[in-house]
Amino acid sequence: MLVDALLQHKVEGQVNRMVEKVRGLEIKQEVVEVAKEVAEVVNEVVEVAKVAKEGGAIVYTCWIKKMKSVQDMSNCGES
């Protein structure tokens, strides 16, 4: 029984360490994703500054796709 308890304690310790490593990797992945987003914003700002410096115009647009409601009425008159 003592051997089983020691083995279980050892396994639980290994699992806990693995869980902590995974959590650390998840945090690192989140940091990488945020850094990529920041880099994209910086690149956009640099491009805007280049255009503004050259006397160009900057236009921001937002495209919205209109969705229409569609109903299947193929068998409507048969009833």
Cα separation of 47 and 27, whole Å? 31
Cα separation of 38 and 32, whole Å? 10
Report if residue 56 sits inside a domain: yes
Residues 39, 62, 38, CA angle at the centre, nearest 5°? 10
Report if residue 39 sits inside a domain: yes
How many structural domains compose the chain? Answer: 1
Report if residue 17 sits inside a domain: yes
What pLDDT is recorded for position 9?
Answer: 75
Report if residue 69 sits inside a domain: no
Segments forming the whole domain that contains residue 31: 2-63
What pLDDT is recorded for position 36?
Answer: 92
State pTM to two decimals.
0.47
Report if residue 76 sits inside a domain: no
The one-digit pLDDT tens for each residue of the chain (79 residues) are: 666 777 777 778 888 888 889 888 899 999 999 999 999 888 888 888 887 777 776 666 666 666 666 566 566 665 5
Report if residue 79 sits inside a domain: no
